[in-house]
A and B are shown apart, each in its own frame.
Chain A
């Protein structure tokens, strides 16, 4: 196998042949102020304009040296298309959902032209631009939100969690089921537009909700999603998910993108034979506040533990120094 970025990532995803080194990948945003300055593209433009979105993603490969390009920096693209009011933020601030149209748990209908809504279209167009530039050379990653995260957006996070606590089971299950078509439509359209892999982010976060919540509400839905969406999927769930990591493999995901809180060795031991693992360099203390040497050591720890694709654990703080991101790339270039 030729050790090109694309081959390294795709082979690692399917746990196939190993090239001369592990790949560095970013299922979530690696945009920081330094990267914005280096390529002259900033937030919020990169959330709203496909060319800007694609160019900033490309900078992650060309300037930082990652083996993937991932053009969706926020978690709000689907929410906007579902009628939520989005504050698109600025250079220093990530976007956020401001108004929850289904706080009353009223019926959600995913519009027929969902993937043509501007906030979805921008990602699809950015993926197609990336395909034309680096298709077959660098792995192109798309990103969609799962029904759990979309429920936070349309109903409000606290409100949604409260209904779960009150055991309003039918209400919660109905909401999740009504949102599934948005995830499916978005993922399929991203593959058609040029994504090699799609990240499915669904924030049934460890420490926030329990493994028993995941098993009851989300596992059946994730099984259906992985069976319906044909292309390879990386699941992203934040927090310490050691208690549910085997369920993620049961759900049928090709890969899991995980946090530093989950020890890499233990994660590999538990599910490394069933799915690809992506991660898990710590954001808050290491990438944001640590030194390049700290980052390098964590990345090497992950490589030695058997993590397949090395990268930050989640979307990085905007003030992360570029040198720290480059230290991940240095660590993978040393080989296995």
Chain B
């Protein structure tokens, strides 16, 4: 791998926010393909960060700064993709925290990682009612809906969302992935979700898998 991509990775892993934009500009100046900068620089670094998080070497504060650093790098490359028309999205994902739950850090990290991985992501925010979620699904027609909950008190909203999707005949047309501290694979399965991600890295993997199943 080229030296500069290595340095980009390191800047994200080591949370060197001040350096990332300059490094990405240098990579562009060296004529490296923007997609290679994203895949082999930015996303590759976040895979390492995700692994460190899974291994409890780092925690959410460090993860947030790495994700922010990645996003700063992504913002430098993105205009080039737009200019070249090389913007094939890997799929559209709606993300929200369910009704009654105001917690969004996990969701925000997942969004940054999904964007980095090439998905088009729409953030519907927190405390989202099932009715509003259905409206958005019918308008945007996403490939995947990602639902987050931090509170055990709000987990029932996930079940309700999937029930309403079924009633409206949308289940199957859109895949549902769920996550959040109290959520488990068993709970996801029981409420009829299409998948569960224990952390942001798993969520990205899951999204890739769900898209390839479509």
- The interface of chain A, by Cβ under 8 A from chain B, is 89, 92-94, 96-98, 157-158, 161-162, 164-166, 207-210, 213, 239, 243, 283-285, 288-289, 314-319
Contacts and interface: CB of A to CB of B under 8 A. Distances in A.
B62 A165 contact: yes
B1 interface: no
16 contacts: A94-B151, A158-B105, A161-B64, A162-B64, A165-B60, A165-B62, A209-B60, A209-B61, A213-B59, A213-B61, A239-B181, A243-B56, A314-B152, A315-B153, A316-B152, A317-B151
Interface string B92-136: 000000011011110010000000000000000000000000000
Interface string B154-166: 1110000000000
B65 A166 contact: yes
B213 to A, nearest CB: 27
B59 A318 contact: no
Majority-rule SS of B interface residues: helix
Contact of A317 (B62, B64, B68, B153): B153
A166 B184 CA distance: 31
Contacts of A97: 102
B45 interface: no
Given A213-B61, A314-B152, A317-B156, A284 B56 contact: no
Q: Which 4 A-B pairs have the closest CB atoms?
A: A165-B61, A165-B65, A164-B61, A284-B182
Nearest to B57: A210
Task: Give the interface residue-count category, chain B.
Answer: 20 to 34
A208 B68 contact: no
A283 B152 contact: yes
B181 A288 contact: no
B157 to A, nearest CB: 9
A298 B79 CA distance: 55
Contacts of A94: 100, 151, 153
B82 interface: no
Given A93-B100, A96-B102, A314-B152, A161 B182 contact: no
Contacts of B17: 166
B102 A162 contact: no
B15 interface: yes
Given A209-B59, A243-B56, A317-B152, 10 more contacts: A162-B68, A164-B61, A207-B181, A283-B152, A284-B152, A284-B182, A289-B190, A316-B153, A317-B151, A317-B156
